[in-house]
Amino acid sequence: MSNKVITISREFGSGGRTIAREVADRLGYNFYDKALVERIAAESGYSKDFVERRGEDATSTSSFLFNLSRSGSGGYDGISGTSDKLYVISHNIIKKLPEEGPCVIVGRCSDYILKDYEDSLHVFIYADMKFKADRIVKLYGEMDDAPEKRLDEKDKKRKVYYKNFTGRIWGMSENYDVCLNSGKLGIDSCVDIIVELAQR
């Protein structure tokens, strides 16, 4: 029997990462968020900070590599585009994570990378602007830019990143098995639903 994998994609500020951590805790699954960043950093030679910054919201400079990674050949020698390199490294790492045990993976196109992995549950977490704005101010404090502007910019970049590497529209329900509005349903309800579905 294969190991269960839950991928959690999320809008910035929606609480998706918190939900993912709680789901992993409750199920006793491996949790790949910072741990994934560390691995990508180790394999790429870039710093963790750099990988985090360039991770999910920097656009690619090479569609050649995009095609390579889609065809599964996976090599990245001789290609420019730092984002491309990072994508392929993280693609190759994510592909093998299920071998290490049941797990929850946050973002980084993991829904797309593991779309053909059978024992999977692909989740998208999103929320209305007010919920997200209140949440990031509470978590990260006030900044020069309005929270709405920060949210818009961050998610716009994620959208472009996702489209670039997967060819799909970020947030379209058909890419996921379940999409949950954490602002409307509440963080706890989202955790309960995902845990229950994983246990069925």
Asked if residue 179 binds a copy of itself (CB under 8 A), the reply is yes
Number of residues that bind a copy of itself (CB under 8 A): 21
Asked if residue 174 binds a copy of itself (CB under 8 A), the reply is yes
Nearer to a copy of itself, 102 or 171 (CB): 171
Give me 166's structure tokens: 């997967």
Nearer to a copy of itself, 139 or 169 (CB): 169
Asked if residue 184 binds a copy of itself (CB under 8 A), the reply is yes
Residues 6+ away with beta carbon under 8 Å from 159:
169, 170, 171
**Between the CA atoms of 88, 37, 123 and 171, what dihedral angle is there, to the nearest 10 degrees?**
-60
Asked if residue 189 binds a copy of itself (CB under 8 A), the reply is yes
Q: Could you give the CA distance from residue 126 to residue 8 in angstroms, rounded to a whole number?
A: 11
Cβ(178)–Cβ(197) under 8 Å?
yes
Q: How far is the CB of 145 from a copy of itself (least distance, A)?
A: 22
Nearer to a copy of itself, 2 or 67 (CB): 2
Asked if residue 116 binds a copy of itself (CB under 8 A), the reply is no
Q: Could you give the CA distance from residue 67 to residue 101 in angstroms, rounded to a whole number?
A: 29
Asked if residue 193 binds a copy of itself (CB under 8 A), the reply is yes
Asked if residue 160 binds a copy of itself (CB under 8 A), the reply is no
Listed in sequence order, the DSSP H helices in 7-81 are: 16-27, 34-44, 48-55, 63-71
Interface contacts to a copy of itself, rule CB under 8 A: 121, 124, 126, 169, 171-174, 176-181, 184-185, 189, 193, 196-197, 200
